[in-house]
Chains A and B, each alone.
Chain A
């Protein structure tokens, strides 16, 4: 697809493709599947905005936190913190002074990024178009770069805690002796399994969130296409289907954020357990 501008009449396919095109640093759609010289400005902007909003709200609650009777906002944040704390306590056995905050950050941040899906699919892109930005995708978790970036962050934490808890020697020993056993013949198999395990964990961690949010976004676009036909049936179809999908999406948004947080804890927790 060449750079579709708003001028010529859009087919349904053009509309979808246009909405699935990132605002890149080059200004064009990325040509190859992997191109490290390109940055998705829209993903980064919204992900940093949502992250900043998330930590700002949390920090505000933290700054005003009293041990006395809490307000509603403080109580809500406390419920969240207690939930994350109890989950992390039951999953990770060790020093959780960084891990629990990571889980909290991940949960709230991913929740906020996923929640961008609730905005009408054309709302922010239209505002962007007025400002001269012809492409924009507003859900950072519907960009594989965003989700894989986070899951690779979790992978790095896993490697760090593996070394911290078991020592370099202990971890290397584990890499070659687990899961099948301590025998020279099994070393290559074990190591291959470990590599696959780490890769699978990280890729599935990022892909799961990406897939859910990407599919959700796509369905919203298809529903918006119905409305864009400007017929009575299309209008009602849009309203009914849009409402149903948005309500269902509330579950997905929260559930995926929760799953992402839980997997973060589980993977880091595994780094603390010896095989």
Chain B
């Protein structure tokens, strides 16, 4: 345990090593550590944000689903209503058409019957006149009795 100049050399070495560490060792390691701490903090924050986002998205999806279901139900009931209405309208139209056709047929039938009756009346009148002519050939002047015949015809 002797003291000698080694002491001063060691003193200088001490400061040289300390200076070296301060200059080249400490800052890069602290920088890396701080950066990593920052990255981890960011990562944790991002994870939290993602979790919140997920919850929000799920809520939104459920809402959308509910809305879609509602609007689908609405569409369906609307469509049913419309279909019923269309059916009703078609039914009415058909009834109209049928009624109109029946009317037209009836009218036509009436007219035809009238015409037939008139033709029959003419023929009966002619037959009557012809019969009468045959019976009364001589005495009865067709021309003189035309008026009488016409009256007779209208009475048929």
Contact = CB atoms under 8 A, between A and B. Distances in A.
A149 B4 contact: no
A81 B26 contact: yes
Give the contact-size bracket for chain A.
35 or more
A150 B14 contact: yes
Contact of B3 (A85, A100, A145): A145
Contact of B39 (A48, A67, A74): A67
Given A102-B22, A149-B11, A61 B29 contact: yes
Contact of A144 (B1, B14, B32): B1
B17 interface: yes
Contact of B18 (A22, A30, A40, A101): A101
Contacts of B2: 22, 30, 32-35, 38, 144-145
A86 B46 CA distance: 28
B111 to A, nearest CB: 106
Contacts of A22: 2
Contacts, number: 150
Contacts of B39: 67-68
Most buried by A among B2, B27, B31, B38: B2
Interface stretch (A52-60, A179-187, A230-238, A243-251): A52-60
A34 B3 contact: yes
Contact of A54 (B17, B31, B32, B38): B17
A58 B6 contact: no
Interface in B1-46: 1-11, 13-18, 20-22, 24-36, 38-39
Interface in A132-158: 140, 143-146, 148-150, 152-153, 156
B32 A66 contact: yes
A105 B6 contact: no
Contacts of B17: 51, 54-55, 105, 109
Contacts of B3: 33-35, 144-145, 148
A106 B21 CA distance: 10
Nearest to A65: B32
A2 interface: no
A30 B1 CA distance: 10
Nearest to A40: B6
Contacts of A148: 3, 7, 10
Contacts of A63: 28
A143 B6 contact: yes
Interface in B34-71: 34-36, 38-39
B7 A149 contact: yes
18 contacts: A34-B2, A38-B4, A39-B6, A44-B13, A48-B13, A62-B28, A65-B29, A65-B31, A67-B39, A68-B39, A81-B29, A97-B26, A100-B26, A145-B4, A145-B6, A145-B10, A149-B7, A152-B7
Given A78-B32, A149-B8, A153-B14, 10 more contacts: A37-B5, A40-B6, A44-B10, A44-B13, A55-B24, A62-B27, A67-B34, A98-B22, A140-B10, A148-B7
Interface of A: 22, 24, 30, 32-40, 43-44, 47-48, 51, 54-55, 58-59, 61-63, 65-68, 70, 74, 77-78, 81-82, 85, 97-98, 100-102, 104-106, 109, 140, 143-146, 148-150, 152-153, 156, 210, 214
